[in-house]
Amino acid sequence: MEDKSITTQGQQRLVIDKQDLLNMDGKRILIVDDVISTGGSLRALETLVGYSKGKVVGCAAVLAEGDAAKRTDIIFLEELPLFFHS
């Protein structure tokens, strides 16, 4: 699964192997990330979990920035302020 992250340069590839998919069958899955910005990585991970018989029950992060901090479907500890150059 390809994702373009704003916190890392270029495309990132998220991969899950067959055994991990099998291990998720029947499980409730919590996706945890360090920082959520656009939510692209979360969407990619939700897609990967969708290949299993597991169910994503929540998404959490240490920090959320930008529009992600306004989302009510993500649990996070703190909002990360954005600084803009003019």
Lowest mean pLDDT among 1-5, 10-14, 57-61: 1-5
Domains of the chain: residue spans and CATH: 2-80 (3.40.50.2020)
**HEC assignment per residue over 7-35:** CCCCEEECCCCHHHHHHHCCCEEEEEEEE
For the segment 29-52, what is each residue's pLDDT rounded down to a tens digit?
999 999 999 889 999 999 999 999
Q: How confident is the model at residue 58 (pLDDT cuts 50, 70, 90)?
A: very high
Whole-angstrom Cα distance, residue 65 to residue 36? 6
H or E, element range at 43: helix 40-50
What SS3 state is found at 54? coil
Confidence (pTM) = 0.79
- What pLDDT does 12 receive? 79
- What pLDDT does 55 receive? 97
* β-bridge pairing 11-13 and 2-4: antiparallel
- What pLDDT does 83 receive? 78
